[in-house]
Amino acid sequence: MSEVKDEKRRLAKCCWRQNKVIIMRKTISAFIMAAALSGVSASALTAQQTVEREVVVKQADGTEAVKREKADMVTPGDKVVYTLSYYNDEREPADNIVLVMPIPGEIKYLEGSADMKHARTAYSADGGKTFYERQSLKVLQADGRSQTASATDITHVRWSVSTAVAPGESGTLSFSGQLK
């Protein structure tokens, strides 16, 4: 009985978190605007975040395929994909772009899922205050010793886009997690 209540509580939190994602879009846009550094106007990029869950569906021929659908309802163990789509809607290229996405507390980051060919990825385990490459990310233990951060310690992902985004050009960045 308490397991059912716990699951309902997690689902409610996740749905609340998904609604918070809409609010987070403004925060992400603020990160984008602050990051377009080299003389490009602050409005050079438009961004939209989507949250989807992956489901396995059986095809007509009997094979299975992974499909993404809107994450209206997720249950513990579900794989959730957070995607940030960006678009340069100005006349000038946008460069030195740094984009940051928080990882909801109910989500365990899935290792390697944020690595993108067109961006350098860094991680935070302190609420987005500091960022390090994955292998260098450390957390302090209760006794004061540091240890390599686990996937559950990661609170934010930061991407530094490698090349300028030309006018009219778009791109996507994403990470995956699993509902705890």
Residue range 5-58, pLDDT digits in tens:
454 444 444 443 443 333 233 333 333 333 333 333 344 688 899 999 999 999
pLDDT of residue 170: 94
pLDDT of residue 130: 97
Beta bridge partners of 171: 86
pTM: 0.73
Query: 10: closest CA among 92, 78, 82?
Result: 78
pLDDT of residue 45: 83
